[in-house]
Amino acid sequence: MSASSSQPRAHGDAVLSARIRTRPEDFFVEELPGFEASGSGEHLLLTIEKRGMNTAFVARHLAQWAGVGEVAIGYAGLKDRHAVTRQRFTVHLPKRVAPDLATLAIDGPDESLRVLESQWHAKKLPRGALAGNRFVLVLRDVQGDAAAIETRLQAMASRGVPNYFGEQRFGRSGDNVAQALAMFGGRRVRREQRTLLVSAARSELFNRVLAARVAAGHWDRPLEGEVWMLDGSRSVFGPEPWSEELAQRLASCDIHPTGPLWGRGELRSTGECQSLELSALEGVDAAALRAGLETEGLRQERRALRLRPEAMTWRWLDAGALEVAFSLPAGAYATTVLSELGEIASAGRDD
């Protein structure tokens, strides 16, 4: 289930085929900050717009510019190279003396970088310290019936989409799960690679459960023994008896059904919901992934099965191009939103 093309769609068969990332400007991402700058401290907080370079490249560039080690650079999340992105970085400068910001700029035909804003802040920017991301995406060479595409977009905006982990979790060649199985079987890997493979294994199991619920038609509907997650948070509750109040909250997307992020301990779900989850995770490879995650010391957690893109809009451009814009919370993937439309080929792979 790691490849998006193999995952069942919630809203029906594909309604289009298209291409994306034919140019960096077709994939625009802007971080939604999780906090305001403190205005004082030893960390220079920079908002940077970059084109044609990934986050790791910018972090190295900042370290060289400031004359510090890369450990002094903080950022909330990784952003793609084949895109135009805006994100924040911190640079630890204990003496509060920063080199000329103008010397940070890069202005080339394929790569560019400019500083949009700078402020002082009290702490290094940690991973995950963002509210989400705003995307403006252009699909080109769109093939499909315009009315059917509009209907699908309206359904996605109102009902949401399955909250699959995106293909980025599974590596460029899609073999991170196979590598995770080898690692759990005894193959030695570097520490940073271990973290990546553990995440891929956990994501694979979640996607299998979600795919089973999509195929059964209740990815956004309740099962007996359901565990719920509050929208916009990681707070979970339940199981509890079905009620009119829960029905209203589910319909308004205030709560979402959840699936397991595998680890040690008992599944929180019960009854019909737990039975489906365990059934979706049968098989030799799934058992090996589950055992490996438990050995790594992870504990059972939950993730929402449903994702509703916020402020979703779209418009047709010239030459059969379609622009789609929406915001997603941290940990959600634009590729999983687009895959609900159909088959979309990427001219430039995500980092």
Instruction: Point out the residues that are catalytic.
Output: 80
Asked if 239 contacts 270 with a C-beta cutoff of 8 angstroms, the reply is yes
Contacts of 55-58 spanning 24+ positions with Cβ under 8 A: 55/79, 55/87, 55/351, 57/81, 58/89, 58/113
Residues 6+ apart with CB under 8 A from 255: 228, 229, 230, 231, 246, 249
CA distance linking residue 35 with residue 33, whole number of Å: 6
Q: For residue 237, which of 214, 221, 256, 212 has the smallest C-alpha distance?
A: 256
Could you tell me the sign of the dihedral formed by the alpha carbons of 106, 333, 293, 261, in that order?
positive
- The number of beta carbons lying within 10 Å of the beta carbon of residue 190 is 8
Residue indicated by tokens 């460029």: 172
In the numeric block, the tokens 């990546």 are attached to 196
Q: How far apart are the C-alpha atoms of 174 and 183, rounded to whole Å?
A: 16
